[in-house]
Amino acid sequence: MSAPASAFGAAKHVHTPPLLDGRLRDLLAGRKIAMTGVTGFIGEQMLWAFLRDCPDTRTAVLVRPKGSLTAQDRVAALLRKRIFKEIVEEAGGVEPLMAARIEVIPGDLPNVPVLPRDIDVLVHCAGDVSFDPPIDQAFKTNVLGTKALIDRFIESVTDADGNLERIPHYVHISTAYTAGRRRGPIPEAAHTHDVDYMAETEAALKMAEHLEAASRSSEQLTALRKQAEAIHRQAGYLTTSQDTERRRLEWVKKELIAAGTERARSLGWTDVYTFAKAMGERIVVDLCKDIRVSIVRPAIVESSLRYPHPGWIEGFKMADPIILAYGRGQLPEFPASPDAVIDIIPCDYVVNTIVAVCATQPQVGQCEYYHCASGARNPLTFRGIYEQVRAYFERHPYNEGTGSTPLATWRFPGVEPVERMLWFGKVATKAADKALSFAPRSRRVRKLATELDRMKGQLDFLDKYLTIYGEYLQSELHFVDDCTLALHNSLHPDDKERFGFDSAAYDWSYYMQEVHAPSICDPVRRLEARRKRQRNRVTTFRDLAAETGEPGTVLAAFDLDGTVMATNVVETYLWARMPELSGPRRVLEAGRLLTALPSYLGAERRDRGVFLRQIYRRYEGADLAELERYVDERLAPLILDRMAPDAIRRIREHRDAGHRTVLLTGVIRPLTRPFEGLFDTIVAAELAVDAEGRCTGFLSGPPMVGESRSAWLRHYASLHDIDLAKSYAYADSHVDLPMLDAVGYPVVVSPDIGLMRAAKARGWSVVDWPALSPIPRWKMPKA
């Protein structure tokens, strides 16, 4: 295809940037170059380039201490990466290298420390990598951070009287997309607009305060609490409140992001990232009137073409999630314009441009702009990417064996059909989710829920991706790169191979198929293979025979209904109560229970404690001693045969391993009598009795449900020197989440959907313990 730049013919008037008149290493010899953002993608390679190929250049790096790591630690860790290996070996180790060539300045944006007074060039390439940061954060880094950095930089070259001692060079790394929603050719010059960056910054900071306050209003908190309760009500107040707070923080962040995006769009930018970057450029020009200043604007930076090695990349960039999702067969169609130019530039070209710019001497006060982009002279359209990626995956399928998926053929139907599909998908998954929440618990339902979750995940991914990057997939602009080309052409012939950056000089098929696609797919393939191996290895369900912990310091807590025993309190009530009643009263009682069942089920969905209390009211008038005798003689066989054999085996294994076994249940005490030989401690609901030993229908204390179980476990552990981090818990329903969270090895047994999701998110083992009784469920064994 013909390049957009060729349509303009030979130019009569061209701005000539300052050019190079020697080898880069000589031009930069003796200089001290300070950098920000060396722990990032571009910064890392930049540091590598200076250290490797400019031996007489000193460097300084501004690095933010992170947690317990000092700035020095972080730089040392950076230098231990593979690309630095040769340089480190040559210098005789990381410490000697740092001492000889790298000055570490601990500091942060916008709290920049005093800078050393011998910096010749300052390259600022720190910044957010996210396209959708909250608005205040975007301005803090890109405007206030940049301002603080330049202030400190000018301060470092100014004497006590306020006069410049010498004239340094400030190189600002921005982005080509500061052009915003403009169309057509974008020149290498300041964008024309009249937005007041300080006013915007202040407004952004105020917005953050405002939203923080708004999130604490009673209306907002009520709404969030209700959302949290819908999921976690059964688990208890603390779990709900934790989730409410998490939702509040999430809401604030979401609103700040939305505020940023909308503000950016209202002024002509695609998102707050490019908007804040554009404001940053403006402040650079304003503050650097008296020094040399250049701005480098890379487009979409992807893996390196040649240096440090082909395909070098850190993390995922913009195009990569789509490439992977396509390879995995998750994207049947995509709403991009097939002819939109996706302006990709290899990372080493950007770094080379920056190094070359550092070696130039622009005129004081006249800012130079350089576009690092391929769109003008070597454009790659979205359809081009699609074809390249498809060709790559045809040769190297992502999913193999039974996991294979057909490669989708994209017809580029435009935005609307895909959005419609997304909308339908969302509605359908929501409805299915609701329907599943009423489905009885079974393996098949869990499988359906897993599939539903996967589908939801794919829809969410597509939705989020399109929200963030959608505009870039429709872009109809190209970045003129005449200045960058001129700079490239002025490279010394000996530097052209190592430091060249002519974006028309490489072939996209080679880059996409041989360099870029493998560089992002191979690590993910390896990661997934490792994850698959780990998944096959059970995580929290451990082999107890291999356990070597000190006996008596570990406990294993078990839930009863649904975990150890396949029954429920209504059924056990019937078994326990019926024999005491005469024939007609039995029918009456069963009828009453049946009519009350819907209300019980409702209560169970809301609060298990309430549900248990309602059921236990029915025990009113029962003779407790008689009940116990009946359980021992007649119900014990029934109860034992309802137990899962695997559960019994596991409990016994715990005992053999010297663990304390604890049964925590909301079931009434008499019904736990058959388990007395299996558990060291049984915590059950106690029926209150009157003077004649008849049940009053009330409990003598609240039933043990939800958070009271975790509290009980913690207190028990503290009294008996038990290490909960090495302990086990087994449960089946979402109500038991707090209990499972309290121990180090929680195991989920034939879970409901809520708990299954929680277990997957936390990486807990899920096991199935079916009750394999040879006796049918409704038959009472004779003896």
The least distance separating other proteins from the CB of residue 731, rounded to whole angstroms, comes to 20
Asked if 168 and 119 touch (Cβ cutoff 8 Å), the reply is yes
Nearer to other proteins, 131 or 675 (CB): 675
Q: Choose, by CB under 8 A, the member of 205, 504, 593, 636 that binds other proteins.
A: 636
Q: Does 782 bind other proteins (CB under 8 A)?
A: yes
Comparing CB distances to other proteins, the nearer of 496 and 652 is 652
Q: Which stretch binds other proteins (CB under 8 A): 140-148, 239-247, 464-472, 638-646?
A: 638-646
Give residues 645-664 in contact with other proteins (rule: CB under 8 A). Answer: 645, 648-649, 652
Residue placing its CB nearer to other proteins in the complex, 193 or 634: 634
Lookup: tokens for 530: 């490792």
Q: How far is the CB of 644 from other proteins (least distance, A)?
A: 8
Tell the smallest beta-carbon distance from residue 547 to other proteins (Å).
16
Q: Which stretch binds other proteins (CB under 8 A): 132-140, 232-240, 619-627, 640-648?
A: 640-648
The reply on whether position 641 binds other proteins by CB under 8 A is: yes
Is residue 535 part of the contact set for other proteins (CB under 8 A)?
no
Q: CB-based contacts of 405: which residues, under 8 Å, 6+ apart?
A: 328, 329, 399
Q: Which residue lies nearer to other proteins by CB, 67 or 677?
A: 677
Cβ 659 vs Cβ 728: under 8 Å: yes
> Residue type for 499, please?
F
Single residue of 9, 315, 583, 774 touching other proteins by CB under 8 A:
774
Q: Which CB, 147 or 654, lies closer to other proteins? A: 654
DSSP assignment string, 695-756: EEEEESS----THHHHHHHHHHHHHTT--GGG-EEEE-SGGGHHHHHTSSEEEEES--HHHH
Using rule CB under 8 A, residue 238 touches other proteins: no
User: How far is Cα 664 from Cα 652, in angstroms, rounded to an integer?
Assistant: 16
| For other proteins, the closer CB: 325 or 647 | 647
User: Least distance to other proteins from the beta carbon of 586, Å?
Assistant: 22
* Distance (Å, whole) CA 602 – CA 214: 34
How far, in Å, CA of 696 to CA of 377, rounded? 88
Among 678, 683, 731, 758, binds other proteins (CB under 8 A): 678
Q: Angle 308-311-316 (CA atoms, 0-180°, nearest 5)?
A: 115
Q: How far apart are CA 152 and CA 147, in angstroms?
A: 9
Instruction: Write the CB contacts of 601 (distance below 8 Å, at least 6 apart in sequence).
Output: none
Q: Does 778 bind other proteins (CB under 8 A)?
A: no
Identity (one letter) of the amino acid at 487? L
Q: Which stretch binds other proteins (CB under 8 A): 493-501, 575-583, 621-629, 674-682?
A: 674-682
The nearer residue to other proteins, 419 or 547, going by C-beta atoms, is 547
Q: How far is the CB of 783 from other proteins (least distance, A)?
A: 3
Total binding residues toward other proteins, as defined by CB under 8 A: 21
Whole-number minimum distance, CB 641 to other proteins, in Å?
A: 6
Query: Is residue 637 within the footprint of other proteins (CB under 8 A)?
Result: yes
Helix (H) or strand (E) holding 556: strand 555-558
Smallest distance from the beta carbon of 566 to other proteins, in angstroms?
11
Nearer to other proteins, 88 or 678 (CB): 678
**Which of residues 495 and 641 has its CB atom nearest to other proteins in the complex?**
641
The least distance separating other proteins from the CB of residue 232, rounded to whole angstroms, comes to 34
- Whether residue 688 contacts residue 613, with contact meaning beta carbons closer than 8 Å, is answered with no
The nearer residue to other proteins, 13 or 782, going by C-beta atoms, is 782
Q: Do residues 35 and 46 make contact, with C-beta atoms less than 8 angstroms apart?
A: yes
Is the CB of 602 or the CB of 645 nearer to other proteins? Answer: 645
Residue 459: alpha-carbon gap to chain centroid: 16
Kindly indicate which of the ranges 65-73, 177-185, 332-340, 635-643 contains the residues binding other proteins, using the contact rule CB under 8 A: 635-643
Which residues are within 8 A (CB) of 70 and not within 5 positions of it... i.e. 6 or more apart?
106
| DSSP code, position 14 | -
* Binding residue for other proteins, selected from 677, 692, 721, 761, defined by CB under 8 A: 677
User: Given the rule CB under 8 A, which of 160-168, 321-329, 493-501, 771-779 is the region that contacts other proteins?
Assistant: 771-779
Partners of 730 in the β-ladder:
558, 747
Centroid of chain to Cα 772:
41
**Which range of residues in 10-18, 612-620, 746-754, 766-774 is near other proteins by CB under 8 A?**
766-774
Residue closer to other proteins by CB (options 485, 564) is: 564
Choice from 162, 315, 598, 776 touching other proteins (CB under 8 A)? 776
The interface region with other proteins, picked from 69-77, 118-126, 361-369, 775-783 by CB under 8 A, is 775-783
For residue 775, give every residue at least 6 positions away whose Cβ sits within 8 Å of its Cβ, in sequence order, or none: 641, 781
301 closest CA partner among 174, 473, 145, 123? 174
**Among 109, 113, 112, CA closest to 127:** 109
- Cβ atoms within 10 A of the Cβ of 637, count? 15
Contact call for residues 301 and 350 (beta carbons, < 8 A):
yes
Q: Which is nearer to other proteins, 410 or 730 (CB)?
A: 730
Please report whether residue 579 would count as binding other proteins according to CB under 8 A: no
Backbone angles phi, psi at 224, to 5 degrees: -70, -40
Query: How many CB atoms are closer than 10 A to CB 284?
Result: 23
Residue 475 or 661: the one with the smaller Cβ distance to other proteins is: 661
**Distance of closest approach, residue 542 Cβ to other proteins, in angstroms:** 17
Token pair 């002819």 is found at 339
Which value, to the nearest 10 degrees, does the dihedral of the CA atoms of residues 429, 430, 435, 437 take? Answer: 110
Tell me how far, at minimum, the Cβ of 223 lies from other proteins, in Å.
48
End-to-end CA distance of the chain: 87
Q: Are 223 and 515 within 8 A, CB to CB?
A: no
Does 538 contact other proteins by CB under 8 A? no
Give 274 or 572: the residue with its C-beta nearer to other proteins: 572
CB of 674 to other proteins, least distance (A): 8
Work out how close the CB of 548 gets to other proteins at its nearest, in angstroms, rounded to a whole number.
20
| Of positions 221, 610, 640, 688, contacts other proteins by CB under 8 A | 640
- State which residue, 447 or 779, has the beta carbon closest to other proteins: 779
**Given the complex with other proteins, which of 319 and 639 has the nearer CB atom?**
639
Residues 6+ apart with CB under 8 A from 123: 33, 34, 35, 36, 46, 171, 173, 354, 358
Rounded to a whole number of angstroms, the minimum distance from the CB of residue 652 to other proteins is 6
The rounded distance, in Å, linking the Cα atoms of 34 and 45 is: 14
The 3-class SS string of 739-756 reads HHHCCCEEEEECCCHHHH
**Pairing, β 555-558 against β 728-731:** parallel
618 φψ region: left (φ > 0), alpha (ψ -120 to 50), beta (else):
alpha
Q: Decide whether 610 or 640 has the Cβ nearer to other proteins.
A: 640
Distance between CA atoms of residues 564 and 640, nearest Å: 10
- How many Å apart are CA 78 and CA 331, to the nearest integer? 36
CB of 733 to other proteins, least distance (A): 22
Stretch that binds other proteins, among 243-251, 612-620, 644-652, 742-750 (CB under 8 A): 644-652
The span from the CA of 441 to the CA of 84, in Å, is: 55
Q: Interface with other proteins includes 436 (CB under 8 A)?
A: no
Shortest separation between residue 643's beta carbon and other proteins, angstroms: 5
Chain residues that interact with other proteins, rule: CB under 8 A: 636-637, 640-641, 643, 645, 648-649, 652, 674, 677-678, 772-776, 779, 781-783
